[in-house]
Amino acid sequence: MEDLKATPLRMHHEGLKALMAPFGGWLMPIQYEGILAEHKWCREQAALFDICHMGEFLFKGDLVAEGLEDVFTFSVKSIPAGRSRYGFLLNERGGVIDDLIVFRLAEDEVMIVVNAATTGNDLAVIRSRLKPGAQLTDISARTAKVDLQGPLSRDVLVEVIGPQVAGIPFFKFIRTKVLGADALVSRTGYTGELGYEIFLPAEKVAGLWERLLRDPRVKPAGLGARDLLRLEVGYSLYGNDLDDNTTPLAAGLSAFVNLDKSFVGKEALLEEQRKGADMVKIAFKGNSRRSPRHHYEIFHGGAKAGTVTSGAFSPMLGVGIGLGFVKPEAAKPGTVLTIKQDRVEMEAEVVELPFYPGGSLRS
C-alpha cells in the first residue's frame, strides 16, 4: 500500500470512512455508504466521484505538421474548439493501448485524458509518434478531476459555478472559473446519467469537494458504484473489456475508428475487417439475480465459446448482466448461453446494449 499514489482528496475519503483499495496504482475509494446505495443516488440525485487518478497531457503546436493527427483512431484536427472526442491509441496489431478523450482547447492546443494505469506508457507512446521537438506536457500531477453525475447535477453546478453550466451540450465543454480557479467543465461522464467532469488545479479540488458535499442533493460515490453504473449502460472498462490484445472492431466500437485517416494499427484493422474477428464482444443478461464475474467461462451448445470480461447484479434490471468475448457464432442477440465457474452455473441470453436505456444522459 505504501507504493500506491494518493489523490489530493485522500484525507477527505478517510474522514468519510470510505473503504479504500488499490486501483490502477492508486489508493482509491471503493465505497462509502455502500455500492448499491451510491448507485441509486447517482441514478436519482447527484453523485460526486474523485477521478483525480486519471492522466492528462497538454499538446501545443501544429496538429498535422507535428504528427498528432496520425496518433489516434479519430481526427483531432476536425474536432471544433470547445468539443471533445472519444477514441483509441492502438499498437501495430490494432490492439488498444488505451481508450481516451481529446479536448480541443484551441486551434493549436488540446488536452488528452487517459486512464490512470496506462498514463506513463501512453505518454511514451504518443511522444514516440510525434515529430522531434513537439510540445507534449504531462500535466497530471497538477490537474485534479472530479465528476458530478446524476439527474440533479446540472441544478447543483449552476448554483456552485454559475448559469453558464446550464447551456453546455453533450460532449462539449467550457473554460470558466470554479471557486476562483481556472477550470474546464465538460458535459461528459461514465454513468449513463446527465453529468459533468470538472478539471481544475490540484490545490483547489478539496475546496470544490467540500462545497459540493454541503448540498443535500450530493453524496460521494466510489469506484464500485461507478463500475456498476457504467456496466448497466454498456461502457467498456480498460483492463477488462479492452486491452492491447483487443481491437476496437472486435469490441464493437468501430464507430470510434476512422478508417479514412492514417493511424498506427490501421492496416491490422483493415485485415480484421476483411477476415472477421476470431472473438467478438457481446452483452448478456442472466435469468436470475446471480452475478457473473470477470473470467467466468461462457458456453454455447455445450462447448466453451468465450469468457466474461465484466459482470455484476444490475439493480435497474433485477438480474445479473455482463460483457464478454465469444466466437462469432455465439454472438447473435437472442442466443442462449451458459455461464460457468467451478460449481457456479447460470443461464443467460445475448442482448443489445445498453442494458439500461433510461438514464438522464441527454437530458
pLDDT digits (tens, 9 = 90+) for 258-279: 999 999 999 999 999 999 999 9
151-201 pLDDT, tens digit each: 999 999 999 999 999 999 999 999 999 999 999 999 999 999 999 999 999
If DSSP codes are grouped into helix, strand and coil, which group holds residue 350?
Answer: strand
What is the distance between the alpha carbons of residues 351 and 127, in angstroms, rounded to a whole number? Answer: 40
Residues 135, 154: Cα–Cα separation, whole Å: 35
Q: What is the pLDDT of residue 277?
A: 97
Reading the block at residue 357, the C-alpha cell is: 436505456
Per-residue pLDDT reduced to its tens digit, 52-74: 999 999 999 999 999 999 999 99
* Residue 148 · residue 162 · CB < 8 Å: no
Q: Extract the residue ranges of the chain whose pLDDT is less than 50.
A: none
Reading the block at residue 269, the C-alpha cell is 484493422
Which neighbouring-strand residues pair with 346? 339
The pLDDT of residue 205 is 98
Alpha carbon distance 216, 347 (integer Å) = 41
∠ CA 77-78-82 to the nearest 5 degrees? 95
> What whole-number distance in Å separates Cα of residue 55 and Cα of residue 32?
24
Residue 69 sits at the vertex; the CA angle it makes with 106 and 195, to the nearest 5 degrees, is: 55
The pTM (predicted TM-score) of the whole model is 0.97
pLDDT at position 1 is 61
CB 188 within 8 A of CB 149: no
Rounded Cα distance between 28 and 18, Å, is: 9
Neighbour count for residue 143 (Cβ, 10 Å): 21
**Cβ(58)–Cβ(137) below 8 Å:** yes
Strand-pair category, 19-23 with 26-31 = antiparallel
Task: Sketch out the chain's domains with CATH numbers.
Answer: 5-50+143-232 (3.30.1360.120), 55-138 (3.30.70.1400), 278-351 (2.40.30.110)
Where does the chain have alpha helices with state H?
10-15, 35-44, 119-129, 153-160, 205-213, 223-232, 266-275
Distance CA 269, CA 238 (A): 19
Distances (CA, A) of 75 to 65, 72, 151: 14, 7, 31
